[in-house]
Every structure is written in structure tokens, then in C-alpha cells.
């Protein structure tokens, strides 16, 4: 009960800031996605993704991912969803380029 072996608790970047965890699983969403233009910063508003334009908000989003990606001491699994072509808010095109980018920079697919 309440052991990290059970993967029963989800934590945001706020809950894990300052922690060092043995193993981390990060789910990458479409808010910070890679495209042909580079990294895109998005916010989900209402029923669609909108582009973040303010530099401060872009930096905040990038920093949230930095926090999530720097907590693991022994290892990490990053999950990039495959998306769902029937759901316009989770289109595979939102995730595919990010997945390919991570593979191209050396992440191992498991």
C-alpha cells in the first residue's frame, strides 16, 4: 500500500518539484508538441487546442516538462500517446512528430 511499486499515484510537475524519484513515467501530451516548425506550445481551451503566444507562458510550459523529465535517478519511461483519429482533440498528428523526434535523438522504443 502506498508503495511506488504499485504506480497508484499520479503527480504533476508541482507535486514532484524538488523530489528525486527512482523511476518516473511521463506521459507526453499535445500541449508541447514537435512539428516541422520546431516545438509548438499549446493550451486546451473549450474544445480545441490554441497556440500559446506569450513568451512567459511558453517558458512556463517548457519548464513544466523540464521538471517532469529531470526527476528520475534510475530510469524513466516516456509515453507518447498514439492519438485517436476519431477525436479531433487527440489527433495522431499531434503526437507522431514528437514521438519521431524523441526516437531520432536516441530514445529507445520499448
Instruction: Give 58-92 pLDDT, tens digit per residue.
Output: 999 999 999 889 888 899 999 999 999 999 999 99
Q: Is residue 27 over pLDDT 80? A: yes
pLDDT tens, 44-60? 999 999 999 999 999 99
Structural domain count, the chain: 1
For residue 9, tell me if it sits in a domain: no
In-domain check, residue 109: no
Is residue 89 in a domain? Answer: yes
Q: Could you tell me the residue range of the domain that residue 29 belongs to?
A: 20-104
Query: Tell me, what DSSP letter sits at residue 50?
Result: E
**Residue 12 falls inside a structural domain:** no
pLDDT recorded at residue 7: 58
Distances from the Cα of 48 to the Cα of 37, 89, 97, 110, angstroms: 20, 6, 19, 31
In a domain, 2, yes or no: no
Rounded Cα gap, residues 56 and 12, in angstroms: 20
Amino acid at each position: 500500500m502506498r508503495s511506488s511499486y504499485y504506480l497508484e499515484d499520479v503527480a504533476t510537475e508541482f507535486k514532484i518539484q524538488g523530489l528525486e524519484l527512482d523511476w518516473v513515467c511521463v506521459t507526453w501530451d499535445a500541449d508541447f508538441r514537435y512539428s516541422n516548425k520546431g516545438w509548438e506550445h499549446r493550451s486546451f481551451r473549450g474544445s480545441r487546442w490554441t497556440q500559446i503566444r506569450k513568451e512567459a507562458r511558453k517558458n512556463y510550459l517548457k519548464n513544466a516538462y523540464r521538471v517532469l523529465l529531470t526527476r528520475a535517478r534510475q530510469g524513466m519511461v516516456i509515453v507518447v500517446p498514439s492519438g485517436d483519429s476519431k477525436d479531433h482533440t487527440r489527433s495522431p498528428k499531434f503526437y507522431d512528430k514528437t514521438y519521431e523526434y524523441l526516437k531520432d535523438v536516441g530514445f529507445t522504443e520499448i
